[in-house]
Structure 1
Amino acid sequence: MSRTAGNPTPRRAPTMADVAQVAGVSHQTVSRVLSDHPNVRESTREEVQRAIERLGYRRNSSARALVTRRTLTLGVVACNPTLFGPSSTLFSLEEAAREEGYLVSTVTLRRYSATALREAIEHLSGWGVEGIVVIVPYREAVNALTELSLPFPVVTVEGGHTLPVPGVSVDQELGAQLVTRHLLAAGHSTVWHVAGPRDWLEAEARISGWRRVLEEAGAVVPPVLEGDWTPLSGYRAGQELAGRVVGGDTRAGALPVSAVFVANDQMALGVQRAFREAGLSVPGHVALAGFDDIPEAEYFAPPLTSVRQDFAAVGQASIRLLLSRIESGGRSGAEDEHVLIEPRLIVRGSSSPT
């Protein structure tokens, strides 16, 4: 059968042998360059890299796994992946793992418990993962993890610093301190707080940072209003706060409501709507700030001041820490190693008059 111009034969993917031929070296030398073997001259390494780029060669992970007897697969256990923080963390972990040449197998749970965690770990073990990252936002999850015998290296994300397991976290307390100091510096006598659920470690840390700044400044610490991360819970908290402003709370010791720090941006959206319905302007009557800096934050009306978490840095640090444990066979002596990622305050119109 003749070949037509419109249907060319698909081009064969370049092989390691092709790279060796173009670079003028042996197949074994190419293999050593790809595995980052130290006994390769720098000039030879550069020649092989040029050949790889010229040919567009890509390593066959399956073949590599057969040779090294490694699966090149990492596991992730996550809970509530529909929320912005957990979903962003999960995405960053998968992206960082791919950059290192690993696949990710993920198990999502409705709720953490010792039994659910054990079953998830057994499932991932059956798939031959070399190590796992466990996203542990709840105190209950931390307690459950301490009860388990772990068959391979494990790294936690947002698990706090009390676990005898390596972990990576955003410095939630610092983020809360940054936003609270910002609101006090704007001239407010105190700052109210709409918190996340009490069993979430992130919510605990944000309360702690907020309270510490107020106490250090000698400001009165208002009672905490608790939400559940949803806009509806923020809306209800906003109605309560708006009532204090519009109703003119005249009780002895009543605190002014002129600044509110909300523990996430979705709840801040609910607070903002409650204020608007009560005839209160932001920031004219009440300054408002959130946490997470979701993509929509800058399109709020007015744009929302928020604390940005570097999820990409969380993913990269977590995967690097896990791979270091895998390479050392879990004997790196880093059982208590915890990496803190600094957040950044993004100031917008909701916290300062235009």
Structure 2
Amino acid sequence: MSQDDKAARTANIFDVARLAGVSHQTVSRVLNDQPNVRPATRARVEQAIAQLRYSPSPAARALVTRRTRTIGLVSPGVSDFGPSSIAMHFNFAARAARYNVETVSSLSDDPVGVRSVVESLLRQRVDAIVLVVVDVAVLEVVRGLDLSIPVVAVAASPRPSPLIVSIDQYRGARAAVRHLAELGHTRILHLGGPLANPDAIERERGWRDELLARRLDVVAPPHGDWSAESGHRLGPELGVEAGDAVFVANDHMAIGLLSSLREHGLQVPADVSVVGFDDVPEAGYLYPPLTTVRQDFAALGGLIMQKVLVAVEDPDTVTEDTPLPTRLVIRDSTREA
């Protein structure tokens, strides 16, 4: 096989964009004969298309007549509870719909690394791509993708989009803070998740808005990395005192915080109420059992697959972005102030 033949078999829209020195959106505009492209730029793109012998039509026809019934799943290269649960339940839903899933773990959460993984899946002729987003910069890249196949992002976002699927982190956080406020707590602290993580951002936004709505003070929170170790390490930075309450961005950091509070002579819930987020399997067996916000990952997996099926099999249908609700699970880590 000649080098030209190899190029024809493997070239994709990103390869054309690189060779022409433009964005993949510009390549898409040229391919669709849209007018808002400068003549010199169009000429460079057309030259790159010819040099690489790139043609989008075989992939497009495959979506209609020769679908591979394979979906590419890009998941973060971490073992955190949320992304792992999403991947597992999406695989269950895909198998139930008789689709295969090609899972690729992105070792880098930055846009360049994720785009490289997307390129590798395009070469495998998947019917659609699902991205589990753990960095807001990647979410912006997803919004700008203009490919011949649908891309569904799993990410919390205040900006609705037909191809974004999520659980309602914002309202879940507000429910947690509301619970603490209704118990009589007036100083409700927050231990946040990673600064660039969409879920952490929405949980912090919900915490802040609920406090502001109740005219309670907002104390700038420290931010952990979702691990119990970071919850334990950052516990002293919160400045927790008897009578306070803490809303923690996930259960594992809450586990670390519980240990830190005990080491500093504070009892939960006698002195401090604590609420987590996720409802991990261990949450009900801690001492004390943890009040937390439950996410329905099984329902999320089904919703992702539903979005994929509509996008692949009935692309003219417009679906709404309706985040799945959470549920507050009240256990023994919270009590009246």
Q: 1:344 aligns with which of 327, 330, 336?
A: 327
Question: What's the CA shift for 1:220?
Answer: 1.5
Report the 3-state secondary structure (helix = DSSP H, G, I; strand = E; otherwise coil) of the residue aligned with 1:115. Answer: helix
**8 Å CA contact 2:162, 2:318 repeated in 1:** no
Question: What's the CA shift for 1:79?
Answer: 1.0
Question: What's the CA shift for 1:181?
Answer: 0.5
**Cα gap change, 1:262 to 1:159, in 2 (>3 Å):** closer
Distance 1:143 1:269 in 2: 32
Q: 1:270 aligns with which of 231, 253, 256?
A: 256
Provide, for residues 214-272 of structure 1, a one-character-per-residue CA deviation record: whole Å limited to 9, x for no partner.
1111211222122111112211222234x553xxxxxxxxxx75111100011001110
Report the 3-state secondary structure (helix = DSSP H, G, I; strand = E; otherwise coil) of the residue aligned with 1:149. Answer: coil
- 2:305 counterpart of 1:322: no
Percent sequence identity is: 40
- 2:316 counterpart of 1:331: yes
**Cα gap change, 1:244 to 1:261, in 2 (>3 Å):** closer
Unaligned runs of 5+ in 1: 1-64, 246-255
Question: What's the CA shift for 1:185?
Answer: 0.7
**8 Å CA contact 2:142, 2:151 repeated in 1:** no
Report the 3-state secondary structure (helix = DSSP H, G, I; strand = E; otherwise coil) of the residue aligned with 1:349. Answer: coil
Equivalent in the alignment of 1:184: 181
Question: What's the CA shift for 1:288?
Answer: 0.7
**8 Å CA contact 1:135, 1:159 repeated in 2:** no
Aligned residues between the structures = 274
Unaligned runs of 5+ in 2: 1-61
Provide, for residues 320-346 of structure 1, a one-character-per-residue CA deviation record: whole Å limited to 9, x for no partner.
111111012x33345xx3231000000
Question: What's the CA shift for 1:135?
Answer: 1.0
- 2:82 counterpart of 1:85: yes
**Structure 2 length as normaliser, TM-score?**
0.76
Q: Which moved more, 1:185-194 or 1:160-169?
A: 160-169
Amino acid at match of 1:349: D
Rg comparison, structure with higher value: 1
Distance 1:257 1:225 in 2: 20
- 2:199 counterpart of 1:202: yes
Report the 3-state secondary structure (helix = DSSP H, G, I; strand = E; otherwise coil) of the residue aligned with 2:281. Answer: coil
Question: What's the CA shift for 1:165?
Answer: 5.5
**Cα gap change, 1:345 to 1:159, in 2 (>3 Å):** closer
Equivalent in the alignment of 2:151: 154
Provide, for residues 295-326 of structure 1, a one-character-per-residue CA deviation record: whole Å limited to 9, x for no partner.
00011100000000011111111111111110
**Cα gap change, 1:197 to 1:267, in 2 (>3 Å):** same
Equivalent in the alignment of 1:32: none
Equivalent in the alignment of 1:115: 112
Q: 2:133 aligns with which of 131, 136, 141?
A: 136
Report the 3-state secondary structure (helix = DSSP H, G, I; strand = E; otherwise coil) of the residue aligned with 1:275. Answer: helix
Q: Which moved more, 1:153-162 or 1:262-271?
A: 153-162
- 2:290 counterpart of 1:290: no
**Cα gap change, 1:117 to 1:151, in 2 (>3 Å):** farther
Distance 1:305 1:111 in 2: 33
Report the 3-state secondary structure (helix = DSSP H, G, I; strand = E; otherwise coil) of the residue aligned with 1:106. Answer: strand
> What RMSD in Å do the two structures reach over aligned CA positions?
2.1
**Cα gap change, 1:105 to 1:220, in 2 (>3 Å):** same
**Cα gap change, 1:172 to 1:164, in 2 (>3 Å):** closer
Report the 3-state secondary structure (helix = DSSP H, G, I; strand = E; otherwise coil) of the residue aligned with 1:137. Answer: coil
Amino acid at match of 1:183: L
Amino acid at match of 1:332: T
Amino acid at match of 2:140: N
Amino acid at match of 1:352: R
**8 Å CA contact 1:114, 1:147 repeated in 2:** no
Question: What's the CA shift for 1:112?
Answer: 2.7
Q: For 1:1-354, list aligned pairs within 5 A.
A: 69-162=66-159, 166-241=163-238, 244-245=240-241, 258-328=244-314, 330-334=315-319, 337-352=320-335
Question: What's the CA shift for 1:125?
Answer: 2.0
Distance 1:163 1:218 in 2: 28
Question: What's the CA shift for 1:106?
Answer: 0.9
**8 Å CA contact 2:142, 2:153 repeated in 1:** no
Distance 2:108 2:156 in 1: 15
Distance 1:75 1:244 in 2: 45
Equivalent in the alignment of 1:9: none
Q: Which moved more, 1:298-307 or 1:211-220?
A: 211-220
**Runs of 4+ deviating beyond 6 Å:** none
